[in-house]
Amino acid sequence: MEMKMSSRPAVRKRFRQLFALGLVIPSGAALMLSACGGQSGGGGTKTPTVAFISQGTSNSWAAQLDAVARKTAKADGVNLVYFNGQGDATKQLPLIDQAIAQHPDAIVLVPLGAAADTGPVERAMQMGIKVILCNSTVNTDNYTSLVNPNAATASVPLAQWLVDKMNHKGNLLYIGGLPGNATTIAYDQGFNQVISQYPDIKVINGGNASYSISTGKQLAATAIASGKTFSGVWGVGGEAVTGIMQAYIDAKVQPVPPIGGGAATNGILRLGIENKIEVASLQFPPSDSKVCIDTAVKAIKGETVPKLINISALPEYGPILPPLDKYYKPQYSDDLYVGTDSVLTQEELKAINLLK
Amino acid sequence: MNYRGTPTNNHLVTASGHPSEGGATNAPSESRNPAIHVSRNAAGQWLARFDQLPPPIRSYALPLLATALVGVGVAILEPNFYRPANLHVLMQQYAVLGLVTLGQLLVLLVSGIDLSVGAVMNATLIIIALMNHYDEHLLVLSLVLCIVFGAAVGTTNGLLVSLRDVPPFAATLGMTAGVQGAILVYTKGIPAGNIPPSLRPIALAGIGSVPFSLLICLSVAVVLMLVLTKGSYGRMIYAVGRSPEVARRVGVSTTAVRVSAYAICGILAAVAGIILSAYVGYVDPTIGGTYNLQSIAAAVVGGVSFLGGEGRPAGALIGALFLLTVLNITTLSSLNPFTQLIVQGVVMLVAVSLFQVFKRRSLT
């Protein structure tokens, strides 16, 4: 009995030691491997290393972004070290410093926190590491290149399409994004720029969907049930627009007013075609991680890269306006963003659950 | 039985029924003003009458009064609220929050908290969507699996809290991370599948204008009311919430009671997830996003205490109704989205603050 009692702390201590070893050994091995990863098999030429600090496993957009980045890195012949931000700014922040510690040739960062990420980005630049900001920015100009869709300009043709469809008058239901969020602010800038020119359009605020389909549907259902008639609807983000479309479909309102503002997904296109709803979407394409990686490779090679690459200004990333049939791909799931299938093969899309 | 025997500041309550707040004796100039004196007397008489009401009515007085006031205010300011179509939408949305809040009530009654209800709802949607990807012949099995999953998550939460002494906040938050992580690993961030059309009538159809989902919610509420007020299980729940040590001494298995409360909460979250999936009709892997905090807020507004052992299903349901009514009205009001947030926050704070005043009185 006594022995048993006295052996317990020893067992616990042993367990703790093993647990600590279990943490330390793989971490050390991973660091060594990643440090060696920059060296090629023995030819002596150094394979460039790009640290890709992604939004990480959080949603379908990020999954497609990662898949395209990995494929592009392989095609470009660079060693891609992946850091998973898990969709959380606080989890992503320490990863930037971990990446800097490995001293890669370039960092491709998908910033989740504009203010918090600023310091690490400046530190990386001071150490001579090229920094490519992908799909969002930070609070400094001290970076190599910013590859970003510009929702402020991209939403203008959508808003213009919407007001034209409304014949420049009537009630417009507005379902917002996430208050204070940079993308939401950009969406609103483009929207307000157009709407302010049409005094006969009355904007009815329907609340903030916070990039949630469920919330978007609940808000739109409430607005529809209020008895007001809407000549057009604006939703900030693909989630809001999907929720709005579901609300109109379930409320059996006919005809459904034209809807603008979402980011183009196969699901929005499907709902639009199946239910004869006119929808205009912009592109916030995860496939632009190809441009991010390609830009990093060019910068590593010493080529001059633009300080700003406006994805929305590229012809392949223009607005998605009706008719929708030419964009819809019935063989793929609702989560496919327009453009991803132009970079990934059918097999690669199947591997990330995008093939039906 | 349903009220905590917490010590009250009886010495601070004056003969007229006013809490003195330690400063009543320092207001001679006010008492000389006849208008103030009359109004104080009127308020005192009103509060004295309130004190004579039976305890259950006293405990529901604020949520009911607040909801009634909101109802009257709405009739004046936003008459569209009473349109049958809007009330139908409100009932559809209420069923989901009501079910989650009833589950949260049970956990709060045993001094716990469940921050994993949203994750269970997300997982429920994923299970339904994946198992009914191509056809619907696995629909019933998928629904059973959802409920089993909810029960398993709840049971694990309960065991962690009861047997390993993990704080409920940490246990259920960790469970949320685990469930969300498992969803991401399994779906690779891209949930395939779809919501079967034959599931949708649960949320969209009903008897007359009353959705089936609301009938499910109210049935669960009635069962819970009976269980908590009439049966020995209810007595054990309140006993464990008020004083686990005393409950243990009188032979109540606090572990079994806690685990069962968490398990039922998980099951109700799964049922709510099924109904919400049917309502939304689209694969949204973050479907349960706001329900963790909404259900807690609804329960607290409805008189459920964070300290355990205090609260009733009717109160929780009234709290949920109040919360959803406020959200519905701010949406109907077409206020600026930023202003909507402020209004929602202020109304919630005022309601909870007023509730505390009434609760203090109901305990005296």
- Rounded CA-CA distance A308/A319 in Å is 20
In one letter, which amino acid is A13? K
* The domain boundary residue, chosen from A282, A310, A333: A282
- Give the chain B residue whose CA is nearest to the CA of A223: B332
Task: Retrieve residue A152's tokens.
Answer: 């402020």
What is residue A308's three-state secondary structure? strand
Residues A199 and A302 in one domain: no
Residues A129 and A222 in one domain: no
- Using the CB atoms, write b or e for A174-197: b if 16+ within 10 Å: bbbbbeebebbebbbebbeebbee
Q: Helix B55-77 vs helix B313-332: angle between axes, to the nearest 10 degrees? A: 10
| pLDDT band at residue B81 using 50, 70 and 90 as cut-offs | confident
Phi-psi region of A339 (alpha: psi -120 to 50; beta: other; left: phi over 0): left
Residues A161 and A278 in one domain: yes
What's the domain range around A164?
154-282
- Rounded CA-CA distance B90/A226 in Å is 11
Residue B54 has pLDDT above 90, yes or no: no
Distance from CA of A105 to the nearest CA of B (A): 29
Q: Is A84 exposed, middle or buried (0-12, 13-18, 19+ CB in 10 A)?
A: middle
Q: A346 CB near a chain B CB, below 8 Å? A: no
Residues A159 and A92 in one domain: no
* The domain boundary residue, chosen from A282, A299, A332: A282
Instruction: Output the tens digit of pLDDT for each of chain A's 356 residues.
Output: 333 444 455 555 555 554 444 444 444 444 444 444 444 334 456 889 999 999 887 788 889 999 999 999 999 999 999 999 988 888 899 999 999 999 999 999 999 888 889 999 999 999 999 999 999 889 899 999 999 998 889 999 999 999 999 999 999 999 998 877 778 888 899 999 999 999 999 999 888 898 889 999 999 999 999 888 999 999 999 999 999 999 999 999 989 999 999 889 999 999 999 999 999 999 988 999 999 999 999 999 999 999 999 998 888 888 999 999 999 999 999 999 998 999 999 999 998 888 88
Whether residue A62 lies inside any domain: the answer is yes
**Hey, which bits of B157-241 come out as E strands?**
206-207, 210-211
Q: Is B77 exposed, middle or buried (0-12, 13-18, 19+ CB in 10 A)?
A: exposed
Q: A192 CB near a chain B CB, below 8 Å? A: no
Q: A213 CB near a chain B CB, below 8 Å? A: yes
Per-residue pLDDT, A30: 44
C-alpha distances in angstroms, A259 versus A47, A172, A339? 48, 10, 21
Q: B332 and A223: CB-CB below 8 Å? A: yes
H or E segment and range at residue B217: helix B212-230
- Residue B34: asked if its preceding bond is cis (omega within 30°), the reply is no
What is residue A281's three-state secondary structure? strand
Per-residue pLDDT, B285: 86
Q: A228 CB near a chain B CB, below 8 Å? A: yes
Q: B173 CB near a chain A CB, below 8 Å? A: no
Whether residue A38 lies inside any domain: the answer is no
Which of residues 37 through 66 in chain A touch B, CB cutoff 8 A? 57-60, 62-64
Per-residue pLDDT, A16: 55
Per-residue pLDDT, B47: 64
Residues A183 and A276 in one domain: yes
Give B-chain residues touching A218 at CB under 8 angstroms. 93
Under 8 Å between Cβ of A203 and A191: no
Domains, chain B, in order of start with CATH, read 58-363 (1.10.3470)
- Give the chain A residue whose CA is nearest to the CA of B190: A60
Per-residue pLDDT, B360: 67
Cβ–Cβ pairs < 8 A, chains A and B:
123
Q: A57 and B184: CB-CB below 8 Å? A: yes
**3-state DSSP helix/strand/coil % of chain B, to nearest 5:** 75, 0, 25
Whether residue A9 lies inside any domain: the answer is no
Residues A68 and A140 in one domain: yes
Under 8 Å between Cβ of B308 and B108: yes
Nearest to A83 by CA among A61, A106, A105, A109: A109
Whether residue A228 lies inside any domain: the answer is yes
Q: B282 and A59: CB-CB below 8 Å? A: no
Task: Give the residue carrying structure tokens 């998928």.
Answer: B142
In one letter, which amino acid is B64? L
> Which positions ≥6 away from A101 have C-beta within 8 Å?
none
Residues A144 and A169 in one domain: no
Residue B91 has pLDDT above 70, yes or no: yes
Whether residue A325 lies inside any domain: the answer is no
- At residue A335, φ and ψ (nearest 5 deg) are -80, -10
- At residue A73, φ and ψ (nearest 5 deg) are -60, -40
Under 8 Å between Cβ of A200 and A167: no
Give B-chain residues touching A246 at CB under 8 angstroms. 280-282
Under 8 Å between Cβ of B237 and B112: no
Q: Is B229 exposed, middle or buried (0-12, 13-18, 19+ CB in 10 A)?
A: middle
Distance from CA of B68 to the nearest CA of A (A): 20
> Dihedral angle at the C-alpha atoms of B2, B7, B12, B15, nearest 10 degrees?
50
Q: B192 and A218: CB-CB below 8 Å? A: no
Give A-chain residues touching B189 at CB under 8 angstroms. 57-60, 62-63, 352
- Rounded CA-CA distance A119/B291 in Å is 35
Residues A278 and A295 in one domain: no
Q: A213 and B332: CB-CB below 8 Å? A: no
Domain containing A195 — which CATH number?
A: 3.40.50.2300
Residues A246 and A295 in one domain: no
Nearest CB to B287; choose among A206, A214, A352? A214
Give A-chain residues touching B328 at CB under 8 angstroms. 222
- Rounded CA-CA distance A10/B250 in Å is 38
Q: How many domains does chain A have?
A: 2
Q: Would you say the ipTM is above 0.95? A: no
Whether residue A354 lies inside any domain: the answer is no
Residues A79 and A226 in one domain: no
What is residue A334's three-state secondary structure? coil
Task: Retrieve residue A192's tokens.
Answer: 């307000």
- Rounded CA-CA distance B102/B79 in Å is 30
Half-sphere exposure of B56 (CA within 13 A, CB side): 7
Whether residue A131 lies inside any domain: the answer is yes
Task: Retrieve residue A62's tokens.
Answer: 């990020």
In one letter, which amino acid is A110? V
**Lowest-confidence range among A3-7, A269-273, B73-77, B128-132?**
A3-7
Nearest to A159 by CA among A187, A140, A181: A187
**pTM for the predicted model, two decimal places:** 0.79
Distance from CA of B24 to the nearest CA of A (A): 44
Task: Give the residue carrying structure tokens 């349960």.
Answer: B288
- Rounded CA-CA distance B236/B257 in Å is 7
Whether residue A221 lies inside any domain: the answer is yes
Residues A114 and A55 in one domain: yes
Residues A181 and A270 in one domain: yes
> Which positions ≥6 away from B129 have C-beta within 8 Å?
B191, B192, B193, B194, B195, B277, B283
